[in-house]
Structure 1
Amino acid sequence: MRRIGLGFAAVAAALAAAVLILPWLIPEHAVREAVRREIVALTGREPVIAGRVRLSLAPLPAVTVENITIPGLDGMPPLLQADSIEGTLRLSSLLAGRIDVSSLALETPRFALVATKDGRHSWDFKTGVLADAAAGHSEEALPVKSMRLINGTVAYSDAISGKSTVVTLRDATVNWSSLADAMSVSGVVDWRHRSTDVSISIADPSALISGGQSDLRLKMRGDMLNLNASGNLSGGGKFDGRLAAGGKSLREALRWLGLDLPEGHSLAAFNVQSPISIDANGIALSDVQLELDGNEAEGSMTVQLAEPRPKISGTLAADTLDLTPYSSEVQLATGLPRRWRSDRINLKGLVVSDLDLRISAGEMIVGKVHFGRTAAAVSTHDGLLDIALGEALTYGGTLKGRVTLKADDGGTEFAASGNFEAVELGKALGDFIGFHKLDGTGSGTFVISASGASVADLSRSMQGQATITVADGALIGIDLPDLMHKIEKRPLSARFESSYGGRTAFEKAHASFKITGGVANTRDCDLDNGNLSVQLAGNSNIASRSLDMAGIANWADGDGAEPFKLPFRVHGEWDGPLVEPDTNALLRRSGAAAPLFHDYVQPGQDASGSVAPIPAAATTP
């Protein structure tokens, strides 16, 4: 045992002596030459070593080279610059008098990947192991099996497309034993101020370098995007495989990828899975399974990248589509009483990309508004948003229409047109604009346009026309037959408010409006229900969300007597309009008050009870 212990002590002493003595026995120029030889063997390029070269054997044999540069092609920046490179040496080779590097650690490396207009690339090699791999020779071993990159950067620029980017390598490792073996890359990278864990596996990197194909696996994990991709990658850059990606916010992920989208709460949590094909022209997703903002849809999509602005095209279908997160961002009116929004309309997102998307849904929800089967097309180009609603089943009827928004120097140009048939107006008007004073089955058309910087500006500049027809409906909030019956018997004692809260049923109603300067005028608004008929004229001020209308209600008992006529006014806010009788007419109906009133009768009036024509409503906005 004592002899064995002495043997181990002798070996330990010999190793310690080697650690202390060998760095002094191997001259620096020999180490420098060994490092130069390894780089030339790999790249075929002559490096420039401007700093010191040091050899150490503890804790492991290693060589450190300071300030090293590997040149690029003629006229290009250096392919690589590093503050220092530390190479781990093979001890067996070192004891035999050779310097063989098994792995490298590059401190603050700076790679410059440059593609010129004439088709040259800074990573093209004419000689060396990498050049042999490009020529299809895969039998050679690599001089370095593993490379670690610490706090480095990879700068890429393409003179043809004008695109450039910089990726920071916080800590990444490349393992590649030989040209015939697989390559793996893993580590933490920073891009556009976000950190991502990346793992890449390439089954046959030598085939890729020579222009062939290889299986590829890619995983990314970060706070912006989680992504898994697997498939076949060709040396020309074409990838065919399968993609699964997701994240907490699609909006933020797209902003991170370079699309200049405005702030917002929609386009949030997302997940997408699909077969994928990527080439120089763009990305094709042939069988998309998409989850976004709680919605699920399927279809196909393409992203064309050949033009300066991406173009997204596709077709998506969903059982249920809830657009409430998007409608809240385009809310038109706020507050109580409600007023049109006065902040500037932001159409910044329309110039980010071109869009051509076809959407269908079995059910579509926008806040309180519910649609049945719906087909729509959404497109954007040159700052124009075009939404075409092919057909939507809603509130028992159908709705078709088109809305366009276009950004211009002064603000926004707006246009809308459409028609609806057999729609339950009571619920529809209540859900759309909070108006609960009309019920019935309605049909109509509308064509409007406006321009301005805000929704309030649009309301003041609105032009167009609209028509509406209502069948089997009712005015909610007042019982005109009951009121007129009371007034006919006792004109002065009947209280107008006594009929509030009731309903005035009618068989049919019709109105047409001409919109000028934000004011909708009508001269032919009427409703009829046998004994009762009503005519209205006046305006609805869209800008101030108010009514100013005058009308006559005609009541006939059916016994051949002269119909009883009651003039009245409708005015006030949309949310709560007031209906008031013409008090002068009530006085004229009263036999006791008529003689007193006679001296004050104005021209055109008759104290016997007949009334003047419907007074014109104010038209000033």
Structure 2
Amino acid sequence: MKRIGLSLAAIAAALIALVLTVPWLTPESVLRDTFTREIVALTGRTPVIEGQVHLAWAPLPTLMIEKVTIPAAEGLPPLLVADKMQGTLRLASLVIGRIEISGLMLKRASIGLTAGKNGIRSWDFKEGVLAEAAAGRFDKPMPVKTIRLVDGSIRYDDSALGRATSVSVDDVTFAWAGRSDAMSAAGVINWRNREAEIAVALADPASLIAGGKSDMRARIKGDTLNLATSGTLDGAGRLDGKVSASGTSLRDTLRWFGFGLPAGRSLAAYDLQSPLTLDHSAISLNEVQLSLDGNEAEGSLTVEFGKERPKVSGTLAADTLDLSAYSDELQLADGRPRKWRADHISINSLLVSDLDLRISAGETTIDKVRLGRAAATVSTRNGQLELALGEAVAYGGTLKGNIALKPSDKMTELAAAASFEGVDMGSALGDLFGFRRLEGTGTGTMAVNGTGASIAELSRSLQGRADISVAGGSLVGIDLASLMQKIERRPLSARFESSYGGRTTFDLAKASFKIADGMAKTADCRMENGSLSVSLTGDANIALRSLDMAGVANWSDADAANPFRLPFRVYGGWEVPVVEPDTEALIRRSGAAAPLLRSFIRPGRDVTQETGKTPPASAAQ
């Protein structure tokens, strides 16, 4: 037994000596030929080796090759350029005196996948194992079973479509042993300065290369996106399966994909689940379950390729939508007192693709604003963003509207139209604009257009028209009928009526405004309520959010025997306007009490003989 043991030890020592000796006795030219033979067997293309070729032993017997290029076909850029390659040698082959490579590690390598305008692709092989596999004649083992790419890059360039993208590879390993084996790739990549872990597995790559089908699984895990997909992939690149995607910020994910979105608190956490159909022309998500910013919706989405700009279209429906997270972006005014926003309007980031998205909800909330059943369309086409609201239930009535925004040099062109019917004006104006001085059921139309770099600039350029009628309502903050009765009886009491309170009810109020250069002018604004009628003329300054109007209130008692006319003014900010009688008209009406009334209303001034311009209110008498 001892002799048998010594014999086996001697044989083992001889084999080890052979393994250690044979490579060192192999000339460099043979090493070059060995490496060239393996690459040709795999790709059918002869590599160009500009650097040295030598052997190393740690941690395994390894063939070291420097500065290697694998050419592409038909004059396209090289398929691969590597600073260094390391070929792991098969120990079993070394024992019998042969040098064979089982795996390759590429350092600082660039892989170029180029599709030329003539249809030629850099990864189309005419000879070698890969070409035989593509022709369905794959009956040989893979000459190189694993390829590891470290500190490299993969670039895809489609000259016909004008598309190109590049991915940095930190460390990725591809493994495929033979025809009956699965193919896998796993590792860490870096795209647009974001790291992500990837994993891809093909159950039957040989069938796929030959034009057949293979089950496929893929996963991407990163800071901004977690994506998993599985299904059946065919040789034409069509995938039928399912997909799930999630992340903490859709805004960050869209930025990663190249959308220049500004900072904001909306478009945050998201989760998407759907069956998937993917081919070279489109991605179709036919039964989407989408969660975004706490809202749940379902529907379908399609992303179409093949043109200069991708097109996103689809339909989403939700029981409830809370859009309060978007109120910062939708806010038109800010500050105290409130002013139109002066920051620059930029919609260019929303125009990188064509969009046709329809959204419906049973109930919609935006901060204080509440809408019932509503449907809206968001579209971008011909360099223009369009928002259209179909008939929406709102504040007891219905609302329709559309807005179109189009960049023009450094400005934005605006065109907007809206109509409403049966709307509770008190709640609507209060929630939308903070104006709480008008109540009633309103109906109206509006159409405006303008150009500006900000909301403030747009407000100064508005042109258009607005027509409004309100039934069964009231003016809040003043009781004109009560006031007129007081003044009729005691003109001197007007001095103390700086804030009247109460409300003026009416049966019907109508107003028509012509809008020019941000100024809404009316010569036809009237209100009727039995013994009281009111007419107004003047301006509503949209840019300054202020009023400067003159009016006349006509009041008569029950038998209409003693009619009374009171001119008054409405001025100041439209959120809290001032309504006051025209003091000049009161003085003239007071007769013998005029001198006393003058000094009482204007302490320290003797104006009983003053003359001057007639105030706007008196002009309306």
* Residues 75 and 497 of structure 1, relative CA distance in 2, 3 Å threshold: same
* Residues 436 and 67 of structure 1, relative CA distance in 2, 3 Å threshold: same
Q: Which moved more, 1:177-186 or 1:331-340?
A: 331-340
Instruction: Tell me if structure 2 keeps the 8 A contact 1:79–1:112.
Output: yes
* Residues 351 and 604 of structure 1, relative CA distance in 2, 3 Å threshold: closer
Structure 2 CA distance for aligned equivalents of residues 84 and 612 of structure 1? 88
Structure 2 CA distance for aligned equivalents of residues 161 and 110 of structure 1? 22
Q: Which moved more, 1:549-558 or 1:254-263?
A: 254-263
Q: Which amino acid aligns with 1:277?
A: T
1:569 corresponds to: 569
Alignment of 1:29-428 (within 5 A): 29-409=29-409, 411-428=411-428
**C-alpha displacement at 1:602, in angstroms?**
6.8
Residue 490 of structure 2 is aligned to residue 490 of structure 1: yes
Structure 2 CA distance for aligned equivalents of residues 406 and 86 of structure 1? 56
Structure 2 CA distance for aligned equivalents of residues 19 and 214 of structure 1? 40
Instruction: Tell me if structure 1 keeps the 8 A contact 2:76–2:116.
Output: no
Q: Which amino acid aligns with 1:556?
A: S
**C-alpha displacement at 1:16, in angstroms?**
6.3
**C-alpha displacement at 1:503, in angstroms?**
1.9
Structure 1 CA distance for aligned equivalents of residues 322 and 619 of structure 2? 46
Structure 2 CA distance for aligned equivalents of residues 169 and 613 of structure 1? 77
Q: Which amino acid aligns with 1:32?
A: R
2:604 corresponds to: none
Provide, for residues 175-230 of structure 1, a one-character-per-residue CA deviation record: whole Å limited to 9, x for no partner.
11102211010011111221111000011111221222211111000122211111
* Residues 403 and 616 of structure 1, relative CA distance in 2, 3 Å threshold: farther
**C-alpha displacement at 1:552, in angstroms?**
1.9
Q: Secondary structure at the residue paired with 1:492?
A: helix
* Residues 58 and 447 of structure 1, relative CA distance in 2, 3 Å threshold: closer
Structure 1 CA distance for aligned equivalents of residues 423 and 59 of structure 2? 83
Q: Which amino acid aligns with 2:575?
A: D
Instruction: Tell me if structure 2 keeps the 8 A contact 1:347–1:383.
Output: no
Structure 1 CA distance for aligned equivalents of residues 337 and 616 of structure 2? 35
* Residues 20 and 470 of structure 1, relative CA distance in 2, 3 Å threshold: same
Q: Which amino acid aligns with 1:101?
A: I
Q: Which runs of 5+ in 1 are unaligned?
A: 606-610
* Residues 253 and 599 of structure 1, relative CA distance in 2, 3 Å threshold: closer
1:615 corresponds to: 619
2:525 corresponds to: 525
Structure 1 CA distance for aligned equivalents of residues 110 and 354 of structure 2? 36
Q: Secondary structure at the residue paired with 2:73?
A: coil
Q: Which amino acid aligns with 1:195?
A: E
Q: Which runs of 5+ in 2 are unaligned?
A: 599-606
**C-alpha displacement at 1:119, in angstroms?**
1.4
User: CA RMSD for the aligned pairs?
Assistant: 2.7
Provide, for residues 286-326 of structure 1, a one-character-per-residue CA deviation record: whole Å limited to 9, x for no partner.
11112222222111111111111111111111111223333
Q: Secondary structure at the residue paired with 2:35?
A: helix
Instruction: Tell me if structure 1 keeps the 8 A contact 2:351–2:385.
Output: no
Structure 2 CA distance for aligned equivalents of residues 241 and 492 of structure 1? 85
Instruction: Tell me if structure 2 keeps the 8 A contact 1:492–1:587.
Output: no
Q: Secondary structure at the residue paired with 1:493?
A: helix
Instruction: Tell me if structure 2 keeps the 8 A contact 1:172–1:187.
Output: yes
Q: Which moved more, 1:28-37 or 1:465-474?
A: 28-37
**C-alpha displacement at 1:599, in angstroms?**
7.1
**C-alpha displacement at 1:39, in angstroms?**
1.5
2:603 corresponds to: none
**C-alpha displacement at 1:90, in angstroms?**
2.1
Structure 2 CA distance for aligned equivalents of residues 264 and 206 of structure 1? 48
Q: Secondary structure at the residue paired with 2:224?
A: coil
**C-alpha displacement at 1:4, in angstroms?**
9.5
Structure 2 CA distance for aligned equivalents of residues 264 and 64 of structure 1? 52
Alignment of 1:498-577 (within 5 A): 500-577=500-577
1:471 corresponds to: 471
**C-alpha displacement at 1:5, in angstroms?**
9.0
Q: Secondary structure at the residue paired with 1:593?
A: helix
**C-alpha displacement at 1:413, in angstroms?**
1.7
Structure 2 CA distance for aligned equivalents of residues 601 and 72 of structure 1? 98
Structure 1 CA distance for aligned equivalents of residues 516 and 93 of structure 2? 92
* Residues 209 and 563 of structure 1, relative CA distance in 2, 3 Å threshold: same
Q: Secondary structure at the residue paired with 2:119?
A: coil
Structure 2 CA distance for aligned equivalents of residues 505 and 325 of structure 1? 38
* Residues 432 and 340 of structure 1, relative CA distance in 2, 3 Å threshold: same
Instruction: Tell me if structure 1 keeps the 8 A contact 2:115–2:121.
Output: yes
Instruction: Tell me if structure 1 keeps the 8 A contact 2:189–2:195.
Output: yes
Structure 2 CA distance for aligned equivalents of residues 49 and 21 of structure 1? 25
**C-alpha displacement at 1:3, in angstroms?**
8.1
**C-alpha displacement at 1:437, in angstroms?**
0.8
Structure 2 CA distance for aligned equivalents of residues 519 and 74 of structure 1? 67
Structure 2 CA distance for aligned equivalents of residues 45 and 383 of structure 1? 47
Instruction: Tell me if structure 2 keeps the 8 A contact 1:84–1:106.
Output: yes
Q: Which amino acid aligns with 1:373?
A: R
Q: Which moved more, 1:448-457 or 1:28-37?
A: 28-37
Structure 2 CA distance for aligned equivalents of residues 288 and 516 of structure 1? 46
**C-alpha displacement at 1:616, in angstroms?**
5.6
**C-alpha displacement at 1:160, in angstroms?**
0.8
Q: Secondary structure at the residue paired with 1:155?
A: strand
Q: Secondary structure at the residue paired with 1:46?
A: coil
Structure 1 CA distance for aligned equivalents of residues 34 and 147 of structure 2? 17
Q: How many residues align?
A: 612
Structure 1 CA distance for aligned equivalents of residues 270 and 307 of structure 2? 26
Structure 2 CA distance for aligned equivalents of residues 577 and 327 of structure 1? 26
Structure 2 CA distance for aligned equivalents of residues 10 and 612 of structure 1? 121
Q: Which amino acid aligns with 1:615?
A: A
**C-alpha displacement at 1:248, in angstroms?**
2.4
Residue 590 of structure 2 is aligned to residue 586 of structure 1: no
Instruction: Tell me if structure 1 keeps the 8 A contact 2:323–2:366.
Output: yes
Structure 2 CA distance for aligned equivalents of residues 324 and 593 of structure 1? 58
Structure 1 CA distance for aligned equivalents of residues 496 and 561 of structure 2? 24
Instruction: Tell me if structure 1 keeps the 8 A contact 2:545–2:573.
Output: yes
Structure 2 CA distance for aligned equivalents of residues 38 and 560 of structure 1? 112
Structure 2 CA distance for aligned equivalents of residues 260 and 175 of structure 1? 37
Instruction: Tell me if structure 2 keeps the 8 A contact 1:350–1:383.
Output: no
Instruction: Tell me if structure 2 keeps the 8 A contact 1:337–1:575.
Output: no
> Identity across aligned pairs (percent)?
57
* Residues 496 and 559 of structure 1, relative CA distance in 2, 3 Å threshold: farther
Structure 2 CA distance for aligned equivalents of residues 251 and 277 of structure 1? 24
Instruction: Tell me if structure 2 keeps the 8 A contact 1:93–1:100.
Output: yes
Q: Secondary structure at the residue paired with 1:561?
A: coil
Q: Which amino acid aligns with 2:153?
A: T
Q: Which amino acid aligns with 1:525?
A: C
Structure 1 CA distance for aligned equivalents of residues 265 and 348 of structure 2? 16
Q: Which moved more, 1:13-22 or 1:471-480?
A: 13-22
**C-alpha displacement at 1:336, in angstroms?**
1.3
* Residues 192 and 490 of structure 1, relative CA distance in 2, 3 Å threshold: same
Instruction: Tell me if structure 2 keeps the 8 A contact 1:417–1:447.
Output: yes
Structure 1 CA distance for aligned equivalents of residues 448 and 154 of structure 2? 54
* Residues 603 and 55 of structure 1, relative CA distance in 2, 3 Å threshold: closer
Instruction: Tell me if structure 1 keeps the 8 A contact 2:547–2:571.
Output: yes
1:608 corresponds to: none
Q: Which amino acid aligns with 1:30?
A: V
2:28 corresponds to: 28
